[in-house]
A and B are shown apart, each in its own frame.
Chain A
Amino acid sequence: MTDMIRASGLVKRYKDVEALAGLDLSVPEGKVLALLGPNGAGKTTAVKCITTLIKPDAGSAEVAGVDVLADPAGVRAKIGLSGQYAAVDEHLTAYENLVMIGRLYHLGKARAQERARELLERSDLTEFADRPAKTYSGGQRRRLDLAGALVAEPPVLVLDEPTTGLDVRSRQQMWDVIKELVAGGATLLLTTQYLEEADRLADDILVIDHGREIAHGTADELKARTGGERIEVVLADLEDREAAVRVLAEVAVDTVRVSDNGRELTAAVSGSATGDLLRVLQGFERETVTVLDVGLRRPTLDDVFMALTGHAAEASDGESDDSEKEMAQ
């Protein structure tokens, strides 16, 4: 299988900060790669290098066999980009936005109009098609922005944090749209801060921090390294801590984490999480540990980082535009 996106040794410096410190990545045709990392990890910078918006200081990248440095215009004809802040003109209606993009892809006026209607239908926006985009909700804007990336039916899609800042329902809708695209054969590079999103959508996950790879594999491979779901316990009595840690350690794949106040314990478990939870509760009963709260939750990016690097994911100042956009949400 050929790689539709390939980048090697990407380096980008901003003043004294290295936003990218030699990043390699590849996405085979029809597959989905998720770039997972916290704010400032270099995700947006990597996307900008690959989509010809900026030139890397070192390294090379190819999209559909076209070199981004040698033939940026050729690359632009192959990609559809949707950013983390919806890049739509807010005074134009959804229809006008899409027709404009179609005409800038040189589809011709009639074809651009036809394509705009198709995409509005597909993105569930027909109802709002003739209202200026500034009246849209965050989710609707994001769907319009994604539709903009699809206008020319590009073989490669690049989505930069497509669901950051969206509520749960809009996120779910967005995931459905993206899954449909992938089922249709698109090659997709996706950046995200959400482990769950990477897990749901991607064939392959590349975890990055400070502009370099810290882990790479399928969702299952990563989970094997970082543990799956977490059991979280809030103790009623601090005296019970030792006993509780002992019980949790029996099912945990990693060391049991204790919060600073000593009351909250977290254990990563693998395999049957409910079975493990049952064993923990039985253990608490046996050791007479009293708890205020016990629960299961999915691992977050923080958990992944803690497991892989020993420190929590933190936004660095390295890629200030990333965090600024975050604030603007």
Chain B
Amino acid sequence: MSNAVQALGDGWVVAQRNLIKIKRVPDILVFVLISPIMFVLLFAYVFGGAIDVPGNVDYKEFLVPGIFAQTVVFGATFTGYGLADDMQKGLIDRFRSLPMARSAVLVGRTTSDVAYNVISLVIMALTGLLVGWRIREGVLDAALGFLLLLVFAYAISWIMAYVGLLVPSVEVVNNASFIVIMPLTFVSNAFVPQEQFSGVLQTFVEWNPVSTVALACRERFGNIDPSIAVPDSWAMQNPEVYTLLWVIAIVAVFAPLSARQYRLSTSK
């Protein structure tokens, strides 16, 4: 068996271990999903009235794809949390004494978190349908929208993996990622259309990958009025390509960084 195939196999074994954990400790999932569900309700029924969506689209339809983007970004914290938790336990020493691929712990974690994101998206989609969100384009378009969310989530997982390895405490990971994630998701078009931001903030929103993910999803799901012109920044004009460029850049930077940090923090 070639090394690469073996490394993937090892990663898959570790991923299976993490999946069993989701099954055994479902409360983690419940807790992580409560906040996006609260956001749906809060924005749909409390703040929603104060936010104008351009064109002939209901705010709830505009909101739900934004919440999807927010959910997968928040969900990535789970990767950092899981790794920080593992690093505190003796199991890592066991893994390191086995003739397995060094990358398996990281690859396994980010892979199993894709499954975790699929579960969150299903639950969030059901919540969305309940409050009035609808998919108005074809099945293929919708599938591509969800696929983009998952690919984006996978990339963010690698950032959080790095954070989780850098700060070896579950609590600190939570707080540290919050500092980054809050502005990233709120200063985007996830909740508020980009037209309502002003000046520098609007430029940030237009180039924020969270905005382009949300925009791409709205287009794929048909939750946007096609007669309303999209801002003419390149990112907003090509939201999918722009998002994928971010995905590639993030993985290219954070996968090696995480691998390096994993080596450093385990070989003391």
Contacts and interface: CB of A to CB of B under 8 A. Distances in A.
A81 B97 contact: yes
A54 B98 CA distance: 14
A53 B17 contact: no
A106 B6 contact: yes
Contacts of A77: 99
Interface string B90-102: 1101111111100
Interface in B1-34: 1, 6, 9-10, 13-14, 16-17, 20-21, 24-25
A241 B25 CA distance: 63
B1 to A, nearest CB: 8
A53 B6 CA distance: 21
Nearest to B20: A92
Contact of A87 (B25, B90, B267): B90
A105 B266 CA distance: 20
Given A76-B99, A106-B6, A83 B13 contact: no
A20 interface: no
A92 B13 CA distance: 13
Interface residues of A, number: 29
A104 interface: yes
Given A76-B97, A132-B24, A89 B91 contact: yes
A192 B99 CA distance: 26
Given A54-B268, A100-B13, A104-B104, A91 B24 contact: yes
B91 A104 contact: no
A103 B6 CA distance: 11
Contacts of B100: 104-106
Interface residues of B, number: 27
- Classify the interface of chain B: helix, strand, loop or mixed: helix
Contact of B91 (A55, A81, A88): A88
A85 B90 contact: yes
B22 to A, nearest CB: 9
Contacts of A87: 89-91, 93-94
Contacts of A100: 13-14, 16-17
B249 to A, nearest CB: 32
Interface string A51-90: 1111100000000000000000100110101010111110
B96 A53 contact: yes
B20 to A, nearest CB: 6
A63 to B, nearest CB: 11
B91 A79 contact: no
B99 A105 contact: yes
With most chain B CB atoms within 10 A of its CB, the pick from A51, A79, A103, A105 is A103
Nearest to B101: A104
A100 B91 CA distance: 12
Contact of B25 (A73, A76, A91, A96): A91
A7 interface: no
A148 interface: yes
A101 interface: yes
Given A76-B99, A91-B24, A104-B98, A81 B93 contact: yes
A162 to B, nearest CB: 13
A76 B98 contact: yes
Contacts of B94: 81, 83, 87-88, 101, 145, 148
Contacts of A96: 17, 20
A52 B96 CA distance: 8
A92 B9 CA distance: 19
A83 B93 contact: yes
A86 B20 contact: no
A210 to B, nearest CB: 19
Contacts of A132: 24
Contacts of A145: 94
A88 B268 CA distance: 21
A53 B99 contact: no
Contacts of A88: 91, 94
A287 B164 CA distance: 71
A132 B20 CA distance: 11
Nearest to A92: B20
Contacts of B25: 91
A199 B95 CA distance: 31
A152 to B, nearest CB: 8
20 contacts: A51-B97, A55-B267, A76-B97, A76-B99, A81-B94, A83-B93, A87-B89, A89-B91, A91-B21, A96-B17, A96-B20, A100-B14, A100-B17, A101-B98, A103-B13, A104-B14, A104-B104, A106-B1, A106-B100, A148-B94
Given A89-B91, A103-B13, 6 more contacts: A76-B97, A81-B93, A81-B97, A89-B17, A100-B14, A104-B10
